[in-house]
Structure 1
Amino acid sequence: MSKLHFIIILLFFPVFVLANEIDECGNNNEARALVKLIKSDNQQKRISIRCNSLLTEAAEAKAKKMSELGLVVHNLEGGPNSRLRNVGYKLPYYYGYDFNSNQVEAIAGGYSDAEEVWDAFKRSELHRTHLLGDLDFYKEQDEIGVAFIKKWESPHVEYWVVYLTKGYEKNQTKLVEFTEIPNKSLFIIQHDKLK
């Protein structure tokens, strides 16, 4: 390989790696814009958040299903924690197993862009606490995947799913003793477009 080819590879490799990292964060530009807002918010308590393609795929499947049914609900074909376990994502043992267990998912319907839905999430205490890592339990969550689906013939038109959870470690024990393990299974953010 000539020096010129080597230099060209070195110049474009970082762009490819960055593009791949961005693509793992969200299923489209709006989803990736929401990831950027979550990661860069000045109130974000986490030191770093990594993108995970499995979380993005799970988020996209959930958003598509919500748009097909015209619903914005956490417990669609099982709870959020179960959904991630069923697609092969390894959650820590202390994350709930029952139908209503949700320590990983934020959903919304009827918001047309990333800034609008991020404002709505931040106005919701439960979602803000989760997505900004306000509790020690959430602060250890360091992997994200986001999906945005727009379906004009569906009641809410826009559907958002965010998975933000603790990435797999060989020893999935608690780093700290949590005073509480939150569960936001019944809470959703829905725009009043239907009124």
Structure 2
Amino acid sequence: MSCSYTYPSGYIVTTTFWFTKKDAEGNPVSLSDDPDYEVRVSYRKDKENGHTLTIRDLRESDSATYKFRFITDRTRGRYIGIPGVTLSVTDVVLEMDPTSVSERENVTLSCRTKCTRDPITAFSWFKNGQPIPNSNTYSPVYSLFSVSSEDTGRYSCAVEGHEDLPSPEETLTVTCQYIGGLDV
């Protein structure tokens, strides 16, 4: 997240930080001092009056309104960016039904997200970390028909345009059918 700020001439900015919470006295708590964030955030001054917040290892619990605070050398020179930036972090989840089948059975993969981004244009599907050719769908459901042992693997999905944030993988196991000692 980035912001830029201005302040009265003659003032000197002494402290800059981002926050989501206030302490018991009502003072904003820098994310770098917040136990929920301290090892996952970094601040960077990126231009004369600009500031960037980077959060690593995003979690759903990071969904919040983030505000920028700067303090000057003047007694009443404390400022907060209002209304702030609202971040909504959602997970993408793959549901597989069933996860273990015999050859020639069907498997349904469903990609679930709480994302309110409108509209979600398409979903991307992956096997063993690689895109499945010609698999992008406008439906959150992808079907594997008449599977074979070659379909065994780890599957995941992502919202198109955010393929760098795929769901956790689900493993599909396909077993061979044997009749009378012969592989069918």
- 1 or 2, which has the higher helix percentage? 1
- Bigger Cα Rg: 2
TM-score class, shorter: under 0.3
- 1 or 2, which has the higher strand percentage? 2
TM-score under structure 2 normalisation? 0.23
